Structure 1
Amino acid sequence: MLTLGNLFVLMLLATFAAWLWHSHGLRERALERVKQHCAKLDIELLDGNVALRRITFARDANGRKRLARVYNFEFTVTGEQRHPGTITMFGAHTAQIELAPYPFEIKTPPPPANVIEMSQWREEHSKWKQ
């Protein structure tokens, strides 16, 4: 028979299980946001995961304190060094993604194509025909 105490413990366990399920979904959303951000910056996310660092109160864009989850991750540019990063989430919404300073390659544009004037081309080809 269910007593009030047993019902309370059962509800407490169900609430805890629902919170864990919800937290896992938020972690997966944070991981997807980090993958998109890394792809946009042409850097590689290492280990393919994010780890919960802390749950804290942080200020949002309007200056109000809200409950936030902060996740850590690591990325690389060259494949040799690991660099840390963090993502802060307000529920399912991304507040900010911070990356540690990292070296990056300056992509130089390809050398300009050789442009040949039409008159020059005609002179070169007319000499070959004769």
Structure 2
Amino acid sequence: MLTLENLFIFMLLGGVAAWLWHSHGIRERALAAVRQYCKRQDIEWLDENVAFRRLALVHDRKGRRRLARLYGFEFTVTGERRHQGCITMFGPHPGHIELEAHPFDAEAEAEPPANVIQLDEWRRSRD
């Protein structure tokens, strides 16, 4: 026979299952946001995974405190060391992404683009 206590337990279990299902969808959106961010920043996202860290009250872009899920991930720039990153999710919407201080590839920055002509070479070719 279905009692009020059994009904409460079923509703509680159903609520927990719905919350877990919803959390999985938010995690999938966090994965997509981190993948896109790492491509834009030209860094390598390690393990292609995000890990739930905690629920916290965080300020959003408008300065309001909102309940957010914080997910952590790892990345590398040089391939030698792992660095930590964190993405904040406000419901299904990504917030800010923070990266640990990391080195950048100085050799790639120092090389001039292929279409740049050096002035002294141009003068020699014109003489």
Q: TM-score, normalised by structure 2?
A: 0.86
Q: Which runs of 4+ in 1 moved over 3 A?
A: 110-117
Q: Distance in 2 between matches of 1:110 and 1:86?
A: 33
Q: Distance in 1 between matches of 2:82 and 2:30?
A: 19
Tell me the residue number matched to 2:78: 78
Structure 1, residues 51-106: CA drift from partner, whole Å, max 9, x if none?
Answer: 01100111112221111001110000111100001001111111100001111113
Unaligned runs of 5+ in 1: 121-130
Higher strand share: 2
Percent same amino acid among aligned pairs?
58
Letter in 2 for 1:47: D
Q: Distance in 1 between matches of 2:61 and 2:82?
A: 30
Is the Cα contact below 8 Å between 2:78 and 2:105 reproduced in 1?
no
Q: Distance in 2 between matches of 1:76 and 1:62?
A: 31
Unaligned runs of 5+ in 2: none
Q: Distance in 2 between matches of 1:3 and 1:79?
A: 60
Tell me the residue number matched to 1:109: 112
Could you say which structure has the larger radius of gyration? 1
Query: Helix, strand or coil for the counterpart of 1:47?
Result: strand
How big is the alpha-carbon RMSD for the aligned residues of Structure 1 and Structure 2? 1.6
Letter in 2 for 1:38: C
Tell me the residue number matched to 1:32: 32
